[in-house]
Copies of this chain bind each other. A is one copy, B any other.
Amino acid sequence: MTDKNIGFIGLGVMGQSMAGHILAAGYNVRVYNRTKQKADALVEKGAVWCDSVADLAAASDVIITIVGYPADVEEVFMGPSGILENAPSGALAIDMTTSDPALAQNLWQHGQQINIGVLDAPVSGGDLGSRNASLSIMVGGEPEDFERALPIFKIMGANIVHQGKAGCGQHTKMANQIAIAAGMIAVCESISYAKHAGLDPETVLESIGKGAAASWSLNNLGPKMIQGDDAPGFFIRHFVKDMGIALSAAKNMGMKTPGLDMAYTLYKQIEEQGDGLKGTQALFQLFK
């Protein structure tokens, strides 16, 4: 089957780049966003604005969502004017929001009953990855839906992996965020130690940034911590959201996650100080 009509819901920083790539690849792209203004640049380039999710869904072969919270995903998919109610039979809906694995399974199940394919396909790589089309895309759902979506994923991402059945994309993203969580504490402590010991932390990174202590966080966020640059690559608010989902999923599976617990507590503290829109490297303020 050839999908020509793509609906794209959620035009945040990442969504705008991702929808832009699909448009540039020659698809018919319909867009919807809560704040209409964020669609302006895309509409100027040829995207078609839709006044509702329902209108967009009805006219699309493939509907992609990347919105805020699991509650938003649920509303956009399951609400009375949502995707599953309005998309044509045979459509494919792909949620690229980082969201709840259990919800992803639910959406897939509902889709099954009405012949609408549903994939969960959260991403990592952030703003830069979405601009460069170098995202890592972690996909859960039916193999045939994955194959169908692959040409579109390839327009947005560089590392696209089918992780298993519905929910597995979200679970993989949770594993990603968990690997980052306590790791951020380690990075903060390491740089804080270097400063306390009177070392030049940039010179320390030259020694420790390539060996067994190396991490993306150390090498990319460490320098920002040292320079006091809190500008967001990834919002603390979003990381707190993701860790909350991970914690709840881990608890449901009977897992102990002391490192994740600690990271969540510390980040929550910063968010409650009003710094939720700073980048995740601002955790360093607790370790000065």
Q: Which residues of A contact B (CB under 8 A)?
A: 101, 124-126, 129, 136, 138, 159, 161, 163-164, 167-168, 171-172, 174-183, 185-194, 196-200, 203-204, 206-208, 210-218, 220, 234, 246, 249-250, 253-260, 262, 266, 287
Q: Which of B126, B199, B249, B266 contacts A212 (CB 8 A)?
A: B126
Cβ contact within 8 Å between A182 and B183: yes
Q: Which of B182, B188, B194, B246 contacts A185 (CB 8 A)?
A: B182
Q: Which of B194, B214, B255 contacts A175 (CB 8 A)?
A: B194
Cβ contact within 8 Å between B124 and A159: no
The docked-state distance in angstroms from the alpha carbon of A253 to that of B189 is 13
A257 nearest CB across to chain B (Å): 5
Take A163-B207, A186-B182 as given contacts and tell me if A199 and B171 are in contact as well, using a CB distance cutoff of 8 Å.
Answer: yes
Closest to A210 in B: B159
The 10 A-B pairs with the shortest beta carbon distances in the complex, nearest first, are: A215-B215, A185-B259, A179-B190, A182-B186, A179-B213, A171-B197, A183-B186, A176-B208, A196-B253, A178-B190
**Looking at chain A's contact residues, is the secondary structure mostly helix, strand, loop, or mixed?**
helix
Residue with the greatest number of chain B CB neighbours at <10 A, chosen from A183, A200, A204, A220: A183
Residues of B within 8 A of A167 (CB): 197
A156 nearest CB across to chain B (Å): 14
Q: 14 A-B residue contacts at CB 8 Å? A: A126-B212, A136-B210, A161-B206, A163-B199, A163-B203, A164-B198, A175-B213, A176-B212, A179-B213, A179-B215, A179-B218, A183-B187, A193-B249, A255-B287
Closest to A254 in B: B196
Cβ contact within 8 Å between B196 and A250: yes
Residue with the greatest number of chain B CB neighbours at <10 A, chosen from A197, A198, A249, A287: A197
Residues of B within 8 A of A257 (CB): 189, 193
The docked-state distance in angstroms from the alpha carbon of A214 to that of B187 is 13
Residues of B within 8 A of A171 (CB): 193-194, 197-199
Cβ contact within 8 Å between B179 and A182: no
Residues of B within 8 A of A174 (CB): 193, 197
The docked-state distance in angstroms from the alpha carbon of A141 to that of B217 is 29
Residues of B within 8 A of A194 (CB): 171-172, 175
